[in-house]
Amino acid sequence: MSNLLGLRRLVIGMSVHRPVRRLSTMSPPFSPILSVQPTRALVDEKLKVVVENLPPGSPVTLHSLHHSEDEDYWEAYGHYVSDFRGIVSVAEDLSFGGTYTGKEDMGLLWSMRPVPGSRKGLRLRKMNICSPLLFNISVYSGHVTEGFREETPLTSALIERWYMAPGVKRIDIRERGVRGTLFIPPGPGPFPGLLDMWGGGGGLIEYRSALLASHGYVSLAMDYFRSQELESAELEFKYFETAFNIIKEHPQVNPDRVGIFGLSLGSLVTMHVAAESTIVKPRCCICVSGSHFYPHDRTLKEVIMEPMTNSHRVRVDENNHHIWRDLWKELLSDPSKKVDVGKINCPILLVNGQDDQNAPADECAEDIAHLMNAAGNGHLLTRVLYPDTGHLIEPPYSPHCRASNFRVAAVAEKTVTLLWGGQTKPHSDAQEDSWKKILSFLQQNLYSSTSPRAKL
Amino acid sequence: MDMKQSIVKLLVQPSRGLVDEKFIVLVQKARPGFQLTVHALHKCEIGHSWEAFGHYISNAIGTVNVSEDPSLGGTYSGVEQMGLLWSLRPVPGSKPGLRLRKTNVQTPMEVTISVYQGHQTEGFMDQVPLASALVERWYMAPGVRRIPITEDGLTATLFLPPGPGPFPGLLDLWGGEGKLLEYRAALLASYGIASLGLDYLTPKITMETGKLMDTQYFETAYRVLEQHPQVLSSRIGMLGLSLGASMTLKMAVYSQVIKLKCAVCISGSHVQPIDGSLQQFLNFCRKNAGKRCINKDNEMIIRGLLLPIPTDPTLKVDVGQLKCPLLLVLGDDDQNWPAQESALDMKQMMERAGNSHLLTVLLYPNAGHLIEPPYTPHLRASPFNSVQADEEVMALWGGEMVAHSRAQEDAWRKTLDFLRENLFSGTNPAKQLKRHQLIDPVENLEGWMCKKHDKLLELFCEKNQVCVCVF
């Protein structure tokens, strides 16, 4: 468009969407400055990663490295190009390649995977939560895809990610037959409480409880696979009630505000206790990746053992990974094999993934809704279902695990590789979103002074 | 009020931070329009308790946000995001003149933040708070390595940043009390600078021989940095406070060995016998002791020692010969050292010599002598035991708490910027290109440029089909 003088303004500018060709090679005296904030954070806090003082338009790789407690190496990386100021900001810029692409402020954590050559079927879990997870964040020149350990980065930083906030107390619990760890937030209290249960892998897994305590909940992580000592289902049920009461009776806990949180097999326990217990009255329940099939006359261990011993009935995928989701589908139509969810009288949040290959969580959630509506307590139910998300819906930014080695606690016989499901990016989004919803649900039901019947 | 029905929530973020990082203190779920006191408590390494508090009123949804809401009273008032730290003071009953300094930098400073009902001013320890949280404040970022240096008679500690390096280096010096204080060096290493905290007044060798160290000692320390495989030998700076600043200026100008990329002098003066040793400087101070004076509170004002600024050139460092950028940080209420008069004189010397473009002066109103990293509680006076002094005196440092705290925060940021500019950038084309918008590489760039004015042409004549210069 010309002006009066017949002159047209030239537009010389950079097209934002075309990658810029590097105008110079990276050489001294450039000292790129990497800043990662915060350097010490809780595992569910966001990171801000910025690199400055780079040559403009220069390709760099941002890399994260973690050496796990099991001695494996995990890594993630993104390919970036610095802008005209010589800056890369992970929160604002696009990754053009690597273990994640696009604008992903936390991609350097959730897209981590074992380095090439690692053992198979690994899962990243922190067992000692009194120390942080350490990550090395580095900047490499150019777009690198392998051999990171053999190359010297331009600069790097070390960050700590904690499950425990400062001041959270950790107490071993060995009483009345219950084995677990109690986490107490700092401060006088009284606090709401949570009984926290993981799945069939057993053991004493503390990290989620530690994190929940860091958010203000007295949390008891329970090891409920008691190996040979436990004989009957009835005795087993009593231990859950006892564990709940241990929390309720704690001097720093508000006895009217104790909930139950379960994942996988733990969800099963949660629903069963909420429905059947005459002693225990949870204020609210959270069930992640759970089903509602309860063996009224068998122990939990027997339940989990069944597919292990009858493995010929188990479907496998192309990698020979076990798919367990179909195993209990026939139970859906048999009311005697299910938890009587119509008897639950507290708010309950179900969190599931549509690509759960371990449990038929999707169908179960549907059936639970159907049963609760029929019983007249459907208003207590909140369901969230995430697309392309698998079974292991963990606290945010932990690497997605699509399949891993699984061994039932105290059963030395067999290890199988179970397919959990999920695609990394949607699963990671689900972990981030579900955690927010979980914290909000807990806040609403355990902290708020409004009616406990309120839905999320 | 039934506590069980309404549980106040307190959130402090980050719960683990570096000492110069800001935090957000958020109180939630209180009753609306409720009077609350937000309180900070810290027990220092030698067992003294320090506290700070602000009085607030929760808003319509029962929230108090310390970063946004005004404190109506307490140890600080107004909207003060970090008031809970910089206004910390010894609890009632403590002995006077306490100074808060961390000696072990490998552990964090722990502060308990609590919320109390009502507007309280005392007796916090006898009450149960509504909520509390623990916060860690670190001088060392994760991955910073602490390396004691004892070779060649040095008493020093080197802090290396994480990563492969190489890193720019820095010599870090404190003042007339001596001892090896590591915290500032540890913090600078957390920002990518390999920092050597040096004890130059009371190193082991002086304690054993009774002899004060001199120029050679500083040069040895410099060499340790220069020769370190992870340090960029051409990018070493020096930072000193008080007497440390005097040493910094002396080395910057007169040492044949020490080649500084830049220097930072906090609350310093260039006045000293330039041909003399450190011992002679202390003798010079002792000789002029009569110029000190005592105020009505029995506090000693030492600044007169070096005044008036001498005209005799042998009594002050010839900053006209300085070849590297110099940053002076000082307060106009410095009662300990004549930093302001010295800064003025230094500026005049450099203007006469033609190197004043190297000088930057940051003069803070109502700030005192002890300009420390941010959020360190301000200290107006404290017992001071300078090396070789006859007696301990209650030295007046000066400064008013709020202004001094602002000065610390601003000075630190500017000091980091100055160090980054001089130790990291060097010849950085990126900086020149900041004004230049990046374009796709084009052929025949000459056709787009005016040959006379050497600028990109912006207008195109449709009629004549040619670019037009309008410069």
Per-residue pLDDT of chain B (471 residues; tens, 9 = 90+): 344 445 899 999 999 999 999 999 999 989 999 999 999 999 999 999 999 999 999 999 999 999 999 999 999 999 999 999 999 999 999 998 899 999 999 999 999 999 999 999 999 999 999 999 999 999 999 999 999 999 999 999 999 999 998 999 999 999 999 999 999 999 999 999 999 999 999 999 999 999 999 999 999 999 999 999 999 999 999 999 999 999 999 999 999 999 999 999 999 999 999 988 999 999 999 899 899 999 999 999 999 999 999 999 999 999 999 999 999 999 999 999 999 999 999 999 999 999 999 999 999 999 999 999 999 999 999 999 888 787 889 999 999 999 999 999 999 999 999 999 999 875 444 443 443 444 445 555 555 566 556 566 666 666 666 666 665
How much is the pLDDT for A329? Answer: 73
First CA to last CA across chain A, in angstroms?
Answer: 56
Q: Which H or E run contains B159?
A: strand B156-160
Give the residue carrying structure tokens 């050139």: B313
What are the residues whose beta carbons fall under 8 Å from the beta carbon of A373, sequence distance 6 or more? Answer: none
pLDDT at A1: 43
pLDDT over threshold 50, residue A18: no
Contact criterion met (CB below 8 Å) for A198 and A263: yes
Interface contact B24, partner A, CB < 8 A:
no
Burial label for A330, CB within 10 Å (0-12, 13-18, 19+), is: exposed
Picking from A5, A42, A84, the nearest residue to B437 by CB comes out as A84
With beta carbons under 8 A apart, name residues in chain A contacting B133: 165-167, 186-187
What region, left, alpha or beta, does residue A237 occupy, with left being phi > 0 and alpha being psi -120 to 50 degrees?
A: alpha
> Contact B172/B197 with Cβ under 8 angstroms?
yes
Around B110, how many Cα atoms within 13 Å sit in the side-chain half-sphere?
14
**Is B440 within 8 Å of A18 when comparing Cβ atoms?**
yes
Please enumerate in sequence order all residues whose Cβ is within 8 A of that of A399, keeping only pairs 6 or more positions apart, or say none.
Answer: A74, A76, A109, A110, A111, A112, A113, A124
B422, B433, B455: best to mutate for the A interface, most A CBs within 10 A: B433
A328 closest CA partner among A365, A360, A376, A363: A360
What distance in Å separates the CA atoms of residue A417 and residue A435, rounded to the nearest whole number? Answer: 27
Per-residue CA distances from B348 to B341, B345, B353 (Å):
11, 5, 9
Q: Using CA atoms, how far apart are residues A61 and A78, in angstroms rounded to an integer? A: 6
CA pair distance A260, A290, nearest whole angstrom:
13
Q: Which of residues 366-425 of B touch A (CB under 8 A)?
A: 420, 424-425
Contact B162 A447 (CB under 8 A): no
Instruction: Give pLDDT, residue B6.
Output: 58
Distance from CA of B136 to the nearest CA of A (A): 7
Cα A358 to its chain centre, rounded Å, is 16
Percent share of chain A, pLDDT over 90: 71
* C-alpha span between A255 and A249 (Å, rounded): 7
Nearest CA in chain A to B21: A38
Give B 4-23 residues with CB within 8 A of chain A: 4-7, 9-10, 13-18, 21
CA angle A58, A63, A66 (to 5 degrees): 170
B386 against A413, higher pLDDT: B386
Tokens of B385: 């035991």
Question: Is residue B334 annotated as a catalytic residue, yes or no?
Answer: yes
3-state secondary structure of B152: helix
- Minimal CA–CA distance to B31: which of B11, B50, B3, B73? B3
Instruction: Check: CB of residue B15 under 8 Å from CB of residue B371.
Output: no
Residue in A18, A166, A254 closest to B4 by CB:
A254
Distance from CA of B89 to the nearest CA of A (A): 22
Contacting residues for B381 by C-beta, under 8 A, at least 6 apart:
B97, B297, B299, B394, B395, B396, B397
> Using the beta-carbon criterion (under 8 Å), do A167 and B5 form an inter-chain contact?
no
**Residue A391 a catalytic site member:** yes
Mean pLDDT, chain A, whole residue set: 88
Q: Which of A2, A37, A41 is the closest to B462 by Cβ?
A: A2
From the list B10, B448, B460, which residue is nearest A8 (CB)?
B460
Taking the Cβ of residue B73 and every Cβ of chain A, the question of whether any pair is shorter than 8 Å is answered with no
Q: Is the Cβ–Cβ distance between B58 and B33 less than 8 Å? A: yes
Please give the pLDDT value at position B445.
Answer: 54
Strand order in the sheet with A113-114: A40-42, A155-162, A133-141, A59-67, A73-81, A113-114
pLDDT at residue number B4: 45
Report the phi/psi class of residue B298: left, alpha or beta, with left for phi > 0 and alpha for psi in -120 to 50: left
pTM across the whole model: 0.88
Beta-carbon separation of A10 and B457 below 8 A: yes
Tokens found for residue A200: 């069939």
With CB atoms and an 8 Å threshold, state whether B4 touches A167.
no
**DSSP-derived secondary structure for A309-349:** HTGGGSEE-TT--EE-TTTTGGGGG-GGGB--GGG--S-EE
Tens-digit pLDDT profile for residues A197-216 = 998 777 899 999 999 999 99
The tokens of B261 are what?
């990329």
What CA–CA distance (Å, rounded) separates A137 from A161?
12
Q: At what angle do helices A265-276 and A300-309 cross, to 10 degrees?
A: 140
What pLDDT digit, counting tens, does each position of A118-168 carry? Answer: 999 999 999 999 999 999 999 999 999 999 999 999 999 999 999 999 999
The string of DSSP letters for B86-120 reads HT-EEPTTPPTT-----S-TTS-EEEEEEEEES--
Minimal CA–CA distance to A338: which of A300, A367, A358, A361? A367
Among partner residues A13, A23, A162, which is closest to B437 by beta-carbon distance?
A13
Tokens 């010839």: give the residue: B318
Q: The tokens 């859950």 sit on which residue? A: A240
Selecting from A85, A155, A158 the residue whose C-beta is nearest the C-beta of B142 gives A158
| Two tokens, residue B15 | 């719960």
* Mean pLDDT within A413-422: 86
Residues of chain A with Cβ-Cβ distance to B424 below 8 Å are 31, 33, 53
Separation between Cα atoms, residue B212 and residue B178, nearest integer Å: 11
Q: What is the pLDDT of residue B453?
A: 61
CA distance A374 to chain B (A): 33
Does pLDDT of A191 surpass 80? Answer: yes
Confidence of residue A12 (pLDDT cuts 50, 70, 90): very low
Residue matched to tokens 């207590």:
A380
Over residues A98-122, the mean pLDDT reads 96
Segment (H or E) for B238: strand B231-241
Average pLDDT for A317-321: 90
> CB-side exposure of B171: number of CA atoms within 13 Å?
35
A341-395: pLDDT as tens digits: 999 999 999 999 999 999 998 999 999 999 999 999 999 999 999 999 999 999 9
Q: Is B468 on the interface with A (CB under 8 A)?
A: yes
Catalytic-labelled residue, pool B20, B199, B334, B345: B334
Q: How far apart are CA A60 and CA A53, in angstroms?
A: 12
Q: Is the peptide bond before B96 cis (omega within 30 degrees of 0)?
A: no
Interchain proximity A53–B458, CB inside 8 Å:
no
Active site residue A356: yes
- pLDDT score, position A456: 45
Q: Considering only CB atoms, which chain B residues are within 8 Å of A18?
A: 440
